[in-house]
Amino acid sequence: MKLIDGKAVAAEIKNNLKHEVDAYRLSSGRSPHLAAILVGDNPASQAYVGNKVKSCGEVGFNSTLIRLDANTSEDALLHQIKLLNEDPDIDGFIVQLPLPDHIDEVKVTLAIDYKKDVDGFHPYNFGRMAQGLPCFLPATPYGITLLLERYNIETAGKHVVVVGRSNIVGTPISILLSRKSKTGDATVTLTHSKTKNLQSILLKADIIIAAIGIPNFIKDDMVSQGAIVIDVGINRIESESYTNGSKLVGDVDFEHVRYKASMITPVPGGVGPMTVVGLMLNTFKAAKKEVYQ
């Protein structure tokens, strides 16, 4: 089994990006600028946004973190989005999800200027992605394709089984991998909670992408010998037996599946750091007006 080291690949890409950002700063006299809006105090969201802000510093971006109270109204959030849309110094911004229940995520996503939508969540970017047109790719699927490329994992003609159909991972990665492209041309099966015979479908997979948000869901008897396993899950499980009272696990039962897989991503240190890389690359493209004028 070979470990797919997302942490190392992310560090390598961020290091290269830093040099490109230095050159951009010299020629343009400014730094790329990413803003993030965090509503409430969800611990996982705070950690993710903290990593994004930290990465901005590492690659030489300016960053602005806007923290809003958990009971912020939808109108107040939409107003904040309008200010960022209109701020010429902000190249791109994200609204960290999930949002509190009283806020409509669709309305919020639609309010973001698609030219600054570096998360690639706006339906305009999503539609362009589905048609293979220049766009901001959603950060996690983008990061996964970079990992596949970096490890020379052939996808053409392979059977990829994606588990989970979320708007931000399962659905877009299944579209990307099935398109005619460098990390595409795969035959993709998108499975979900209503799928029948999941085990038999998974046993026919050359590549498994697990993005369901259920800790250790994919067991070793669901994976064929030699399959490649990409684990997108980041689940915190609590137990007094762990050093700090909790630990992070993926959607894949890593300790057992590792003996079946030919290659596998760990959690943490697999896909997670690559999501941040996807976001950094999108922000740099936004600053350079590479995707949209």
Known catalytic residues are 52, 96, 119
Instruction: Dig out the tokens for 283 from the structure.
Output: 């922000």
Q: Does the footprint of ligand GUN cover residue 117 (CB under 6 A)?
A: no
CA 278, chain centre distance (Å): 7
Minimum distance, C-beta of residue 65 to ligand GUN, in the bound complex (Å): 13
**Per-residue binder mask for ligand GUN (CB under 6 A), 163-202, x = binder:** -----x----------------------------------
Q: Which is nearer to ligand GUN, 97 or 203 (CB)?
A: 97
- Given candidates 53, 97, 198, 214, which one binds ligand GUN under the rule CB under 6 A? 97
CB atoms within 10 A of CB 54: 11
- Given candidates 63, 80, 96, 191, which one binds ligand GUN under the rule CB under 6 A? 96
Q: Does the footprint of ligand GUN cover residue 129 (CB under 6 A)?
A: no
Q: Which is nearer to ligand GUN, 80 or 275 (CB)?
A: 275
What Cα–Cα distance (Å) separates residue 37 from each residue in 5, 68, 78, 92, 95? Answer: 29, 7, 11, 11, 5
C-alpha–C-alpha distance, residues 246 and 288, integer Å: 41
The SS3 call for residue 108 is: helix
Q: Could you give the angle at which helices 139-150 and 271-287 cross, rounded to 10 degrees?
A: 110
Q: What is the CA radius of gyration of the chain?
A: 19
Q: Which is nearer to ligand GUN, 74 or 185 (CB)?
A: 74
Residue nearest to ligand GUN (CB): 97
- Given candidates 31, 63, 80, 140, which one binds ligand GUN under the rule CB under 6 A? 140
**Count of residues of this chain found to bind ligand GUN when the rule CB under 6 A is applied:** 9
Minimum distance, C-beta of residue 9 to ligand GUN, in the bound complex (Å): 17
Q: Does the footprint of ligand GUN cover residue 94 (CB under 6 A)?
A: yes
Q: Where are the beta strands (DSSP E) in 192-250?
A: 207-210, 228-231, 235-238, 246-249
C-alpha–C-alpha distance, residues 62 and 26, integer Å: 15
Residues that bind ligand GUN (CB under 6 A): 94-97, 119, 139-140, 168, 275
